[in-house]
Amino acid sequence: MLSHLNFDYINLLSKKDIVIGLPKLKHVKDQLCLSCELIKEKRSSFKSKAVPSSKGRLNLLHMDLCGPMRVASMNGKKYTL
């Protein structure tokens, strides 16, 4: 999903002529683009399990997946844990 800068920052860039070719438009805060509307929607929370999945210590790990990276690793991978 694509995103953009907040409206105050866009107005500042336009006002100070920091970005070449940025039109001088009035960006209204109350007007949301489709991406902003979708991101601000509420999701229902996940239901908790009655019985935990793990049976002992270190049987369940939580990790973050990072990527895709702009430059691949020496093995050609673009994601990392």
pLDDT score for 3: 65
Inside any domain, residue 22:
yes
| Between 33 and 12, the higher pLDDT residue | 12
User: Is residue 55 a part of any domain in this protein?
Assistant: no
Domain annotation covers residue 1: no
Instruction: Give alpha helix (H) positions in 19-75.
Output: 34-40
Asked whether the beta carbons of 38 and 1 are under 8 A apart, the reply is yes
| pLDDT value of residue 55 | 77
pTM for this predicted structure: 0.34
Q: How far is CA 7 from CA 15, 31, 35, 45, 70, in A?
A: 12, 10, 14, 30, 28
Total domains, the chain: 1
Range of the domain at 30: 7-40
19-66 tens-digit pLDDT: 888 777 665 656 667 777 777 777 777 787 777 777 778 787 888 999
